[in-house]
Amino acid sequence: MQPEHWPLPRTSTRVGYVADGSVPGGPSLSPSSLLLLAPGERVILPSLNGANCALAAADTGAMVVAGSLRNASAVAKYLGGTIGPIGVIAAGDLASDGTMRPAVEDILGAAAILRLLPGTRSPEAAVAEAGYSAEPSALVESSASARQLASVGHEDDAEWAGELDVSGCVPVLDGDVFVDATA
């Protein structure tokens, strides 16, 4: 998977399926649409905030790892041996009008990873971790994100986003592409 700024730059020469929903029945930001891709197929994932955060972090020289509720334990295990500070970003959702909306699934995903990492916490990380729920799926499925997804016919995406530790994949940004560090 390749993160990309949204909207895609007019000069983009990216190769792969663009997961922006522009092709009917093709890949989009909906997780179920990505199941249509064969293993190893390259997908360009443009997003208003998540991709922008990943690319901005990479520009600083930081190692970028994509984590969520779905792979929290795998990501925490991978990062557990890291020496030095670890920044955990709950990217949230950046609306097309430029406003920021915190996303429950992102906050809970960050907290699920933080709770498993050793070391001291910043006050912000401590607050996120304190808000962690043993039943994140119920919170995600009743969130603003879930309502927004339901309004466009993607009710199942909220269920996907709320699943805890169903994946052992650890996506690490390598150049301009996320690769599974466990492969």
pLDDT digits (tens, 9 = 90+) for 74-84: 999 999 988 88
Measured N-to-C along each axis, helices 72-79 and 104-114 cross at an angle, to the nearest 10 degrees, of 40
**39: its two tokens:** 């293993």
Contact criterion met (CB below 8 Å) for 21 and 73: no
In this predicted structure, what is the pLDDT of residue 95? 66
Beta-carbon contacts of residue 81 (< 8 Å; ≥ 6 apart):
none
User: What is the set of domains in the chain, with CATH numbers?
Assistant: 2-180 (3.90.1560.10)
Report whether pLDDT(109) > 80: yes
Contact criterion met (CB below 8 Å) for 90 and 102: yes
Q: How far from 178 is each of 36, 52, 55, CA to CA, in Å? A: 19, 14, 11
Report whether pLDDT(26) > 80: no
Please tell me the total number of residues recorded for the chain in this structure.
Answer: 183
Taking only the tens place, the pLDDT of each residue in 83-94 is 888 999 998 886
Q: Taking residues 157-180, what's their average pLDDT?
A: 93
pTM value is 0.86
